[in-house]
Amino acid sequence: MDTQSIKKLADAVKGFDKTHLPPADKTKLKNLATDLAKQMGAALAEEGNIGNDLNQYNADGGQLANDRQELNDALDTFQTDLEHMAALWGKLDDARAAVEKSQKGKPADPAWHAFAEAVTACDAGVYPNMSTDLQPLK
Amino acid sequence: MNQKCYDALKAATDDIDKSNLPDNAKTALRGAANQLLFRLKRGIDTDKDLTQKFTDFKKRQQDHAKEKQDIAKRIDTLKGHVQTVLATQQTAQKQFDAYHAAHKTLKDQPFDKLSECVKAAAAGIRVDAKI
């Protein structure tokens, strides 16, 4: 849309008062031109607003793509960390089993049993539930 | 991720000190358990943080998709408005042409200028915005 055209039209509407047309005709034609200039002005303003919003929309889209990549990378890192944790669970459980074997036949130790139970419970319940809700973002 | 399980393991790890296990077994178990607790705590925090970030991101994606719809609607509305403008211009042009024919002898420059401007303005109307 063209700002220059609207300005010229508005100027022409002002100059129209100097015509020698009958007053009723003058008013009618002037009103038509004025209405047209107003409608064009409104359309031009909205076109400008849409242009700005489109630029913002496109910028947001670029930012979203970057953020999605970062989050998916973070998820990969987290999953790698979980795999390392799984290996640690295995080592801890091996150590627990070795101690349990060496303790066989000895009087029950509440602290030890609580620890052994906590390891078993975590191993069985925590690790499989880790990050199951998180899926890579599309 | 389960904070309750982390808390139970942490309490049990702390209690290893009070157990009757040999010192070397206590040390080995506490070392392994502490490493695991550190990782587990970090995992719980990361899980919470990522879950929140994923939720926020999905919300932003939804808002962005809605923004697209809104802008597309506004472009359609603007195109409709431009059609109205063009209809107004055509009406005005007809009136101008009719009066011009009826008042040829007036030779008013402002009148001619206005008529030209209406034609020029109509030629410049277009909507380039696309989404």
Domain boundaries, given as residue ranges, for chain B: 3-124
Distance CA A95, CA A71 (A): 36
> Contacts for B24-33 with beta carbons within 8 Å, 24 or more apart?
B25/A99, B25/A102, B28/A95, B28/A99, B29/A92, B29/A95, B29/A96, B29/A99, B29/A115, B32/A88, B32/A91, B32/A92, B32/A95, B33/A92, B33/A115, B33/A119, B33/B9
Predicted local confidence at residue A1, as pLDDT: 57
CB A34 within 8 A of CB A44: no
* Local structure of B85: helix, strand or coil: helix
Q: Hey, of A4, A7, A8, A25, which one would you mutate to test binding to chain B, going by the most B CBs within 10 A of its CB?
A: A8
pLDDT in tens, B7-28: 888 998 999 888 888 888 888 8
- Residues A15-20 have a mean pLDDT of 76
Contacts of A9 (CB under 8 A, 6+ apart): A33, A36, A37, A40, B114, B117, B118, B120, B121
CB contact under 8 A, B68 and A112: no
DSSP state of A132: T
- Chain A, window 59-88: residues with a beta carbon less than 8 angstroms from a chain B beta carbon: 60-61, 64, 67-68, 71, 74-75, 78, 81-82, 84-85, 88
pLDDT in tens, B55-84: 999 999 999 999 999 999 999 999 898 888
Which residues of chain B have a CB within 8 Å of the CB of A53?
67, 71, 74
What is the value of pTM for the model shown? 0.77
Predicted local confidence at residue A132, as pLDDT: 56
Pick the closest to residue A48 from B74, B27, B33, B31 (CA basis): B74
Predicted local confidence at residue B22, as pLDDT: 84
CB contact under 8 A, A8 and B67: no
